[in-house]
Amino acid sequence: MPVNADAGAVGEQVEATGEHPEDADGLPINELFVSLQGEGVLNGVPSVFVRTSGCNLRCWFCDSYHTSWEPTGAWMAVDDIVAEVEQYDAEHVVLTGGEPMLHEESVELLERLSAAGYHTTVETNGTIHRDAPIDLASISPKLASSTPTAERDPNGESEWAEKHEQDRLDIEALTGLVEDYGFQLKFVVTGEADMDEIISLVECVREAASVPVRNEDVLLMPEGVTREQLDDHREQVADLALEYGYRYTPRLHVNLWNDEPGT
């Protein structure tokens, strides 16, 4: 079973807004734990996950609700985060969120981890580019199907729909991440209706980027945060990957531990 650190015991609690208080140092940490990477090309690799709070988008199906819709956690100094990471026997660190690239301090953390010899993955929605030592940019561009329309907003409202739709894609930032780092484009697929947008977006990035974007760099992942939800989508998304020549990625952590926190 994964091991989860108690971030709340280390730093000042994150306010519900997720904003950075003037007197807070470091990063707002929602979870810090060791587990198996459950998604993408490093699926199954033992990894330390550093999950930040705060996000610039509001996907209705967000699998880390307490980093976006209701940001929680504790502010931790970079020194304390690195010290906690070093307690675990893993050579791979995943900086995730929320949207970790929101925070300037993420660059310092990645520099410290790189200097210590860790392989780093950053899980990002691709809307923010920063200059940092990143071994794998796991980029998950958000499709139109992610928009929290009134009927899909977890709070039963629609105040985030317009902002989310406006901000969910930034081709310049997305292209910069693809050009500057090892990358994977990982799409959360809710159904076959998503495929036209995926194909169009991949072609857009191919035209804009100065590096190749191969079909094997494009991963299709079924939407779902529980085993039952994945059962509804898994086979269909696998068939779509076969049909379009893209790569399929499971959500191993959900298959193993369902929706258990800290996995």
- Helix residue spans in 43-185 (DSSP H): 78-85, 105-115, 161-167, 171-180
Q: Are 189 and 39 in contact (CB under 8 A)?
A: no
DSSP letter at 61 equals T
Q: Is the peptide bond before 245 cis (omega within 30 degrees of 0)?
A: no
Long-range contact list for 228-233, CB < 8 A, 24+ apart? 230/254, 230/255, 233/189, 233/190, 233/191
Give this prediction's pTM. Answer: 0.92
Q: Where are the domains of the chain?
A: 3-257
CATH number 3.20.20.70 is the correct assignment for the domain at 3-257: yes
Task: Give pLDDT < 50 ranges for the chain.
Answer: 1, 3, 8-11, 15-18
Nearest alpha carbon to residue 121 among 27, 48, 176:
48
Q: Please give the pLDDT value at position 262.
A: 82
CA–CA gap between residue 33 and residue 214 (Å, rounded) = 32
Nearest alpha carbon to residue 208 among 242, 241, 247, 169:
169
SS3 227: helix
Q: How far is CA 102 from the centre of its chain?
A: 12
Paired strand residues for 172? none
Q: Please give the pLDDT value at position 157.
A: 63
Nearest alpha carbon to residue 214 among 41, 17, 16:
41
Q: Are 145 and 193 in contact (CB under 8 A)?
A: yes
Q: Please give the pLDDT value at position 150.
A: 80
pLDDT digits (tens, 9 = 90+) for 148-202: 988 776 666 668 999 999 999 999 999 999 999 999 999 999 999 999 999 999 9
Q: Please give the pLDDT value at position 60.
A: 94
